[in-house]
Amino acid sequence: MSDITLIINGIRTTVPADTTILDAARRAGVKIPTLCYHPDQEVKANCRVCVVEVEGQKNLLPSCATLVSEGMVVKTTTARVMEARRTILELILAHHPQDCLHCVRSGICELQELAASYDVRGNRFLQEERNLPLDFSSPAMVRDPNKCLLCGRCVEVCSSVQTVHALGFAHRGFETRVVPSLERDLSESPCVMCGQCIHACPVGAISENEQIDDFFAAAVDLEKTMVVQIAPSVRLAMAEELSNPTGELGMPQLINGLRKLGFDYVLSTNFSADLTIMEEGHELLERLREGRDLPMVTSCCPAWVNFLEVFYPDQLGNLSTCKSPQQMFGALVKTYWADKMGIDPARIFSVSIMPCTAKKYEALRPEMADSSFPDVDLVLTTRELARLFRMTGVDPLKLEGSDFDSWMGEYTGAAVIFGASGGVMEAALRTVYEKVTGHDSLEIDFNEVRGMQGIKEAQVDLDGTVVKVAVAHSLGNARRLMEQVKNGESPYHFIEVMACPGGCVGGGGQPLTHTNQKRAERVAAIYSEEQGLDVRKSHDNSEIKALYEEFLYQPLGEKGHDLLHTKYSQKSKGI
């Protein structure tokens, strides 16, 4: 394809012919504001904030939707352009709530940032808010339709990327709104609570169901023993929330930060990730041996489980019966760990820190109380934990390190990579290979299942039996694989699915992410951390060995079946 040379603000730049003015400007180091534009989505040109002046054109043109042409002369900061942008912002703000001090996105709001950049402090237009009711129906997310800009970013990620179609446009003109299916509450839609709409939204129209008040209520109760588990990808992203590069926060510092918040015991979800591999790996071997319910599909991701229940209920038999690491951990904390520590399980308040909004719902599922108590009492996202640190003045970056508490704190490299798409598959293959062949694998890195490709494939030879596997991240890719399973055309024996792009590192509860490039950086940081660990296979975890010797006795045993496994059923909607 031929290149095009144009001039932007006096800067001569050469770009491919299919480049938009917006992309060309960014290559030339010229910043053009955007609002409805998203680098990983189709161009919408709804908001017109990105308009520019092109020599020879009467009207201002949206830079996100206008392709460059040879000799084009573009001006991005003329008086006419600046006045147009300010007017657009004023019109948007005339219908937007002025409650920035109370908004969950205050300080990280794209509209707020633009208003400040363009010095929009008054408004020539009459303030006319919609006064629509907020939607608190979902245990994972809250919708505030009054703040919606109609940019369409949430609709696209829900429909095109996740193929859930829980959100869409309704009505016309001033009455246009983004609404859940049939204009009902979010809980009555097919929403799977993955939270990708939160990342897509430029303002605070949709956010996690914040439960910081619930944490404080439990923390001040002296009768409660506060126990916390922390997922592997939280540490990496927490550094970003604390204005550090991805991964530049040591786990020992984060552990000490959690202690400063009032937790009595700090344990690791990675421990139960290793346990998940033991149970899930043996489940896969059993299914291969018996030739039933193949391909087996992972069950670690609650948004994916919700998706399967709603859209592919006839394939629920393919789903692993294993609970997620969060729920396995919760069940053991109130049985095995409580007994070892001599603590009444009725006093334990079990909190998990997760990168995921769907985990909030998972903890409330009736299937998740096999210890005679709720496995997990409260789920806080990475963002909520960051708010707690800011509220309390605790800065983990300035703290000395601290170790996880005894029992259920040890983990291996296999558990660390759970946070990346392909990590569960790779961890399982490491253990399954050794269990079948009886000897160590010389090469335990399964690079074929790594990376940001939507669907990845690999195969492994288990003493003459070739096992074909696939990995999918984002639910649109998962749907492609499940259509094969539904039609009896799947060539695979084992499939890993993560609902969010990049895996848990891109979860709905992570620091707000505008590009898949940022998710890729987090994935790279996970594998970098894992490479530095001495023990990298789940079955080599000494605390896991002790758990089986003292309590579970064997993978897929009776006690493990009661506490660590479950089953799901068809739903007509997300809850």
- 573 pLDDT higher than 70: no
What would the pLDDT profile of 15-41 be if each residue is shown by its tens digit?
999 999 999 999 999 999 999 999 889
* Average pLDDT of the residues in 367-385: 93
Q: Output the CA angle 548-553-557, nearest 5 degrees.
A: 115
- What's the mean pLDDT in 478-498? 95
210 has pLDDT over 60: yes
Show which residues are catalytic: 280, 283, 300, 320, 359, 362, 367, 504
Letter string b/e over residues 251-277, b meaning 16 or more CB atoms within 10 A of that residue's CB: bebbbbbbbbbebebbbbbbbbbbbbb
pLDDT band at 345; cut points 50, 70, 90: very high
Contact 529, 535 (CB under 8 A): no
Q: Please check the confidence at residue 442 and state whether its pLDDT lies above 70.
A: no
Q: Where are the domains of the chain?
A: 1-129, 130-208, 213-564
**Which CATH topology does 130-208 take?**
Alpha-Beta Plaits (3.30.70)
Tell me the mean pLDDT in the region 255-264.
95
Percentage of residues in the chain having pLDDT higher than 90: 69
Residue type, 171: H
If you average pLDDT over residues 245-268, what whole number do you get? 90
Q: What is the mean pLDDT of residues 288-306?
A: 93
Q: Tell me the mean pLDDT in the region 413-421.
A: 87
Tens of pLDDT, residue by residue over 103-124, are: 999 989 999 999 999 999 888 8
**Per-residue pLDDT averaged across 350-371, rounded?**
94
438: pLDDT strictly greater than 80 = no
pTM of the model: 0.91
Instruction: Provide the total of helices (H) and of strands (E) in the chain, helices listed first.
Output: 20, 17
- What pLDDT does residue 562 have? 92
Residue 312 or 409, more confident? 312
**pLDDT class of 574 with cuts at 50, 70, 90:** low
CB neighbour burial string for 35-64, b if at least 16 within 10 angstroms, e if fewer: bbbbebbeebebbbbbbbbbeeeeebbbbb
**Is the confidence at residue 451, as pLDDT, over 60?**
yes
Largest CA distance in the chain: 80
pLDDT band of residue 482 (cuts 50, 70, 90) is very high
Question: What one-letter code names the amino acid at 150?
Answer: L
What is the rounded CA–CA span in Å between residue 188 and residue 382? 26
pLDDT higher than threshold 90 for residue 570: no
Q: Which residue has the tokens 């690491």?
A: 325
The answer to whether residue 463 scores a pLDDT higher than 90 is no
The pLDDT, as a whole number, for residue 305 is 96
Average pLDDT over residues 494-517: 90
Look up residue 307 and give its amino acid: F
Q: Is the pLDDT score of 386 beyond 70? A: yes
Cα four-point dihedral sign 107, 113, 116, 117: positive
* pLDDT score recorded for residue 344: 95
Alpha-carbon distances, residue 3 vs 15, 54, 70 (angstroms): 5, 19, 9
The 73-75 sheet, strands edge to edge = 11-16, 3-8, 73-75, 51-54, 61-62
- Is the pLDDT at 49 greater than 80? The verdict is yes
The count of other CB atoms within 10 Å of the CB of residue 285 is 18
Q: Write down the pLDDT at residue 236.
A: 83
Q: Are 91 and 84 in contact (CB under 8 A)?
A: no
In CATH terms, 1-129 corresponds, of 3.30.9.30, 3.40.1160.10, 1.10.240.10, 3.10.20.740, to: 3.10.20.740
| Residue among 98, 100, 122 nearest 109 (CA) | 100
How would residue 242 be classed by pLDDT, with cut points 50, 70 and 90?
A: confident
CB distance 32 to 76 below 8 Å: yes
**Residue located via tokens 């010095």:** 119
State how far the Cα of 390 lies from the Cα of 384, in Å rounded to an integer: 10
Instruction: Select from 3.30.160.270, 2.30.40.10, 3.40.50.261, 3.40.950.10 the CATH code of 213-564.
Output: 3.40.950.10
1 has pLDDT over 70: no
Residue pair 552/558 in contact by the 8 Å Cβ criterion: no
Flag whether pLDDT at 441 surpasses 70. Answer: no
Would you give the end-to-end CA distance of the chain in angstroms? 49
More confident site: 572 or 218 = 218
pLDDT of 432 above 80: yes
Say whether the peptide bond before residue 295 is cis (omega within 30 degrees of 0): yes
pLDDT tens column, 58-103: 999 999 999 999 999 999 999 999 999 999 999 999 989 988 988 9
* Gap between the Cα atoms of 561 and 569, Å rounded: 18
What average pLDDT score do residues 157-164 get?
95
What values do phi and psi take at 107, rounded to 5? Answer: 95, -20
Q: Return the minimum-mean-pLDDT range out of 80-94, 266-280, 442-456.
A: 442-456
Q: What pLDDT sits at residue 383?
A: 95
Q: Average the pLDDT over 427-441 and give the result.
A: 79
> Residues of the chain with pLDDT > 70: what percent?
98
Average pLDDT, the chain: 91
Residues facing residue 67 across a β-bridge: 20
Q: What's the confidence (pLDDT) of residue 419?
A: 86
Q: For 123-154, how does the pLDDT look when each residue is reduced to its tens digit (9 = 90+)?
A: 888 888 888 999 999 999 999 999 999 999 99
